[in-house]
Amino acid sequence: MTYRLELTDDPTALLALAGEHLAADPVLATVVATVAVRAVGRPAPWHPQWWVSVLDGDRVVGVAMRTAPFRPYPLYVLPMPEPAALLVARAVVERDEAAPANGALPAARLVTEEVARLTGTRAVTARHTRLFELRRVLAPPRPPGQLRLARPEEVALCLDWYRAFDEAAAEQSGRPAEPGHAEHFDDAYVAERIDQGRIHLWEGPGGEVVHLTAANTPAYGVVRVGPVFTPAEHRGAGYASAAVAEVSQQVLDAGLRPCLFTDQDNPTSNGIYQALGYEPVVDMANHDLR
């Protein structure tokens, strides 16, 4: 079987070509779909931004993208046949853009291993992740306070917590934080999210803000929840469970499907989300080249 690649830096072109493929399994495709939808009509960013569709004849059988705004600008790969994954890897190297791949297994691993083979490096798995979907919320005990939308004057607070999320998640998983992973977040990014009503804060009875739960732009009927962050001094009080449950219920009430990712090595987040009714969909992984 012969596959061919269609590569584009235009998210509108990607959605026109591969939209039906993404919509066929929108939870699995959530990262590619939300990134492409958000990029429509925006100026080209400072970092690499392109998508590649793998076609068997006129049928799309796989999609990958290189849009990550942090080094080493890894690819994100959706499921595809093994020969297609190898073809994507070779195309990346031919573009002189050797990079590891994150995403669905085994495709992301195959892409990374082939890039490593072609460049004389070594492929390693940096993190095992898991995608979950929620169909019915199992309401947790409710802590004091209430969930509310973040306000424009809270950009600085939300930005601090966005940037702190990765370090906290890494600590809970027993691994080092990825250097530079959160540096791309800035005031404009967070302000836009607040303006769109995508960031929720839990406010205690005394008015102190103790937790943040965000949600991404809907794409093909799916909303990805995250990041979810509670400062260390407020953990263990049930804020994350209550906030994620309420945000997820809002998504369901809007006729959409909530999903989220966890680090498989983080027992805290995996336990919280499964207790709320989140069910595993697929295991994925992040990779490095060394």
pLDDT of residue 181: 62
Q: Tell me: the pLDDT tens digits for 128-180?
A: 999 999 999 999 999 999 999 999 999 999 999 999 998 887 777 666 666 65
Q: Tell me: the pLDDT tens digits for 44-83?
A: 999 999 999 999 999 999 999 999 999 999 999 999 999 9
- Burial (CB count within 10 angstroms: exposed 0-12, middle 13-18, buried 19+), residue 148: exposed
Please, what sign has the CA dihedral across residues 198, 215, 185, 220?
negative
Mean pLDDT, rounded, of the chain: 95
Q: Which overall architecture, per CATH, does domain 134-283 show? A: 3-Layer(aba) Sandwich (3.40)
Distance CA 269, CA 278 (A): 11
Which residue(s) pair with 257 in the sheet?
222
Q: Tell me: the pLDDT tens digits for 15-42?
A: 999 999 999 999 999 999 999 999 999 9
The amino acid that residue 33 corresponds to is A
Distance CA 11, CA 148 (A): 32
Q: Strands of 199-203's sheet, edge to edge?
A: 4-8, 50-56, 59-66, 75-77, 101-104, 278-289, 123-134, 257-263, 222-229, 209-215, 199-203, 146-149
Which residue(s) pair with 260 in the sheet?
132
Distance CA 284, CA 263 (A): 10
pLDDT of residue 178: 65
pLDDT of residue 273: 97
pLDDT of residue 167: 83
- Burial (CB count within 10 angstroms: exposed 0-12, middle 13-18, buried 19+), residue 153: exposed
3-state helix/strand/coil string of 32-91 = HHHHHHHHCCCCCCCCCCEEEEEEECCEEEEEEEECCCCCCCCEEECCCCHHHHHHHHHH
Q: Tell me: the pLDDT tens digits for 93-111?
A: 999 999 999 999 999 999 9
pLDDT of residue 286: 96
Mean pLDDT of 7-12: 98
Q: Tell me: the pLDDT tens digits for 177-219?
A: 666 566 689 999 999 999 999 999 999 999 999 999 999 999 9
pLDDT of residue 172: 74
